Amino acid sequence: MHATTYLADYRPFPFALERVSLRFRLAPEATRVQAELHLTPREAGAALVLDGEELKLIALAIDGADLKPADYLLTETGLTIHPAALPEGAFTLTTEVEIAPALNTALEGLYMSNGMYCTQCEAEGFRKITFYPDRPDVMARFHVRIESDLPVLLSNGNPVAQGAGFAEWDDPWPKPAYLFALVAGDLVATSGSFTTMSGREVALNIWVRPGDEDRCGFALGALQRSMGWDERTYGREYDLHIFNIVAVDDFNMGAMENKGLNIFNSKLVLASPETATDLDYERIEAVIAHEYFHNWTGNRITCRDWFQLCLKEGLTVFRDQSFTADMRLGAVKRIEDVITLRGRQFREDAGPLSHPPRPDHYREINNFYTATVYEKGAEVVGMLKTLVGPEGYRAALDLYFARHDGQACTIEDWIKVFEDSSGRDLTQFKRWYTDAGTPHLKVAERFENGTYTLDFTQETAATPGQAEKPARLIPIAVGLLGPNGDEVVPTQVLEMTEARQSFTFEGLGARPVPSILRGFSAPVVLERETSPAEQAFLLAHDSDPFNRWEAGRALALSTLCAMAQGGAPGGEYLDAVGRLIADETAEPAFRALCLRLPGEDEVAQALASAGAVPDPDAIHAARRKLMETLANRHEAALAATYAACAVPGPYTPDAAPSGLRSLRLACLAPLSAIDGGARAQALFDSATNMTESLGALNQLIALGKAEGPLASFRARWENNRLVMDKWFMAQAALTPPAAAVARAEALAADPLFDWKNPNRFRSLLGGLSANHAGFHRADGAGYRFYADWLIRLDPMNPQTAARMSTAFETWARYDTARQALMRGELTRIAAQPGLSRDLSEMTARLLG
Ligand code: BES
Ligand code: ZN
């Protein structure tokens, strides 16, 4: 069994590695990789320990002389050259290995996708390519020569030579091996350029398989917008003559920021109005931005070790969220991000996988690319910005780039930059990085003689391995509203540093209504005794759009929780929604968010966190019932809005028309609950874009009236992989719960279910786990089906199997029968012979 790695064990690499020269002779089952490493010892007498996995060693020499068997030790995980075999000064190590990219189904290292060679090296994939110190604090300049008959040969940096059957690339910027990339294939480019703020012209290319080139325009524009934004907002300019993006169909993750050669899952590049939804467009723009922004936050300044992952990921997610907020509607983007944070990170933090944004141990680092590292990591950056203000934030980032360019850094370096630039002591704030768990913030209020007091307490439940939870610094943005809805105290940021702390506001004429945690100023659960009337008041009057939405959300959530436990929908919620549907002064995208009901998983989480045991069927029924009640109560307004939001003219993915479409679909959901699917069927028949086509299909599937539309959709799109992923996903996720597992089984038997393709696998299995009541079927059929497929995928692609095992992370929420069924499946998975390190770490942690 693979050992645990601890943060406390970090030691610098005892050699300097300044330059690397690689030569690839590509062949599907016998690629030869020659590597030349220019090394200088930094500690006398140290052995040279190189990582290497699944490599066939062909040749090994130092300064041109072959090593003898006694000079080194070759194991399953690497190559150790004994100190006695090493020169005292600088030397050159040359190795040659053979690898088989065509047999690489794990999609890590060098692999093949549709006849194309490509790489994925983060976090520890480079060791499957050659023997190397595969750790992010070893930064070297790379020269790469690729030999192959394929027409397009790409690597990092700038092209320096090419001819018949070869190309050479040189990357002037020192980088860790995880940022290495190589692509070879029959590819076509959509090209453009960007002139940087200092006037340098950069060639931009989006490379795809022939036939896909008509769906690259949006990605290219998104790249240009990202480059401009990073110059304007952070003063950061691109630093090579060329920037390449390649789309591949087989990819474990979303995308990867390799220096000068980003590699993308094709679903995050290819878009046309007929094949991609508004959400796809928004996501493509955000991910292109994210990977581009890594050029400074990740590549120029990288991580010392993988424990520091949120140094690059949390910051870069924060940057891409800010970018999208600037490109579209900022308030809407913030609400969407908080919905995701709660749905993924709060869920993770409430279960057995809870860990801090900077963990201190792991077995398989791939298992730590989590919602906590990414999304909570981004929230922590946002809180720092709130604490030091926008100018203070920019000053801190300027100092970060000035001080650490070219280095591999830690969270301590990052915090120090904020301390030095702001003069603040951030010792307590650092707990956000090192402590796990979501703080619960309770607030009570008092009003006496014109003085209003908010009494806060904070508490964080114990998490695996962390019992003690000292108080954190929580920035709480607060505003106060008067009885007529006017703002009597504008937003101010209270800094809570104690476990219990009070804040007073003086000189008020009447008892105010507080708007607390505006903009979601900290990733906490706010608990406050409030009335539906007060929530309806905030939904009508709050000047902070986030808290306006939040008031309606809380109302919807408490209504659903009550209904799932046998109650009836409260009048306040229904009235408040009625006012919103017709409120033409609010942005359509905002109204759409307010109309959309919380998902079933969110309701289950709310019930569990209130100490109840969620019943998935009751939650499902409550949500359908509320939809129907809403529609009956407001049919006229919903129908009028539905009709009014039809977008005339040709499709564009811009914020305004996509906001209208999203409001239109938000009206369609309740209407479909009472019109028998008539509108959805009409929309499906007339739709000319994927947003509306899929939006209509989703409603029909939920009604069990989609057989005809599903057949015609399939007939039209069966040759388009990305669209067929949607076809699989929609059915798995939305088929009514009683039929969901049977439907998933039928889909798994479909000849188009290519389970080795991660996108297709995720569509079906991820769809099923998103079908809350279907997955959690009382007889355990959902759990069994899901576990069977994880067991099947694991030997093929352990990384994806392990990531998907998080469907079971909520087992402790449910009744004892379901708990036993889920734990039974996890135990069955854990007992599989030859289980991967990835999945065995996950089952062990999930079982607790
Ligand atoms: N560096 C990651 C890609 C990655 C993740 C490589 C895990 C190896 C293991 C990349 O920058 C990233 O974060 N991609 C995200 C999308 C992003 C917009 C949050 C992804 O792939 O999901
Ligand atoms: Zn990233």
pLDDT recorded at residue 582: 86
Nearest CA to ligand 1 atom 1: 256
- Tell whether the model's pLDDT for residue 787 goes beyond 80: yes
SS (H, E, C) 538-602: HHHHCCCHHHHHHHHHHHHHHHHHHHHCCCCCCHHHHHHHHHHHCCCCCCHHHHHHHHCCCCHHH
Which ligand has an atom closest to residue 107 CA?
1
CB-CB contact of 171 with 260 (8 Å):
yes
- Give me the mean pLDDT over the 98-109 stretch: 98
CA of 528 to the centre of ligand 2 (A): 35
Q: Which atom of ligand 1 is nearest to the CA of 366?
A: 9
CA distance 561 to 557: 6
| pLDDT tens digit sequence for 727-775 | 999 999 999 999 999 999 999 999 999 999 999 999 999 999 999 999 9
Cβ pair 299, 268 in contact under 8 A: no
Please tell me the number of the ligand nearest to residue 287's CA.
1
State in Å: Cα 179 to ligand 2 middle: 12
Tens digits of residue pLDDT in 166-210: 999 999 999 999 999 999 999 999 999 999 999 999 999 999 999
125 Cα nearest atom in ligand 1: 8
Nearest CA to ligand 1 atom 17: 287
Q: What is the pLDDT of residues 266-310, one digit of tens each?
A: 999 999 999 999 999 999 999 999 999 999 999 999 999 999 999
Task: Report which ligand 1 atom has the smallest distance to the Cα of 286.
Answer: 18
The alpha carbon of 87 and the centre of ligand 2 are apart by a number of angstroms equal to 39
- Give the residue, out of 121, 259, 369, 804, with the most ligand 1 atoms within 8 A of its beta carbon, to mutate for a pocket test: 369
Tell how far the Cα of 280 is from the centroid of ligand 1, in angstroms.
16
Return the pLDDT at 109.
Answer: 99
With beta carbons less than 8 A apart as the criterion, state whether 683 and 692 touch: yes
- Bridge pairing between strands 56-62 and 91-99: antiparallel
Q: Whose CA is nearest to atom 22 of ligand 1?
A: 254
Catalytic residue among 291, 364, 375, 692: 291
* Closest Cα to atom 7 of ligand 1: 369
Compute the distance from residue 369 Cα to the ligand 1 centre, in Å: 8
pLDDT value of residue 570 = 87
Residue 1 above 60 pLDDT?
Answer: no
818-831: average pLDDT: 98
Per-residue pLDDT tens for 535-584? 999 999 999 999 999 999 999 999 999 999 999 998 999 999 999 998 99
Atom of ligand 1 nearest to the CA of 287: 18
Atom of ligand 1 at shortest distance to CA of 253? Answer: 21
Q: Could you tell me the distance, in angstroms and rounded to a whole number, from the CA of residue 110 to the centre of ligand 2?
A: 20
Task: Name 247's bridge partners.
Answer: 264
Contact 763, 731 (CB under 8 A): no
Q: Whose CA is nearest to atom 21 of ligand 1?
A: 254
Distance 289 CA to ligand 1 centre (A): 12
Per-residue model confidence (pLDDT) at position 443: 98
pLDDT for residue 2 is more than 90:
no
Q: Which of 71, 69, 68, 74 is nearest to 56 (CA)?
A: 74
Q: Which atom of ligand 1 is nearest to the CA of 374?
A: 19
CA–CA gap between residue 572 and residue 135 (Å, rounded): 57
Going across the sheet that includes 78-81, the strands are: 48-51, 78-81, 72-74
- Identify the residue whose C-alpha is closest to ligand 1 atom 10: 256
- pLDDT number for residue 395: 98
pLDDT of residue 408: 99
Q: What percent of the chain has pLDDT over 90?
A: 99
Ligand in nearest proximity to the CA of 284? 1
Query: Which tens digits make up the pLDDT trace of 475-496?
Result: 999 999 999 999 999 999 999 9
The number of the ligand nearest the C-alpha atom of 375 reads: 1
Pocket of ligand 1 from Cβ distances under 6 Å? 122-123, 253-257, 287, 290-291, 294, 313, 317, 320, 366, 369, 374
Percent share of the chain, pLDDT over 70: 100
Counting from 1 in the atom list of ligand 1, the atom nearest the Cα of 254 is: 21
Residue owning the nearest CA to atom 16 of ligand 1: 254
- pLDDT score at 683: 98
Ranking 91-95, 393-397, 559-563, 580-584 by mean pLDDT, the lowest is 580-584
Mean pLDDT of 377-404: 99
Q: What is the DSSP string of 227-247?
A: HHHHHHHH-----SSEEEEEE
Q: What is the pLDDT of residue 431?
A: 98
- Ligand closest in space to the Cα of 262: 1
Residue whose CB lies within 8 A of the most ligand 1 atoms, among 251, 256, 362, 804, for a mutation test: 256
**What's the predicted TM-score (pTM) here?**
0.99
CB proximity list for 626: less than 8 A, separation 6 or greater: 556, 559, 560, 563, 569, 597
Please say if 291 is a catalytic residue: yes
CA 258 / ligand 1 centre spacing (Å): 11
CA dist., res. 497 & res. 473, Å (int)? 5
Tokens of 202: 């950069």
Distances (CA, A) of 772 to 443, 607, 735, 828: 32, 14, 11, 22
| pLDDT score recorded for residue 412 | 99
- 147: nearest Cα among 163, 170, 129, 160: 163
Average pLDDT, the chain: 98
**pLDDT class for 60, splitting at 50, 70, 90?**
very high
Angle between helices 616-644 and 737-748 (to 10 degrees): 90
Mean pLDDT on 462-483: 97
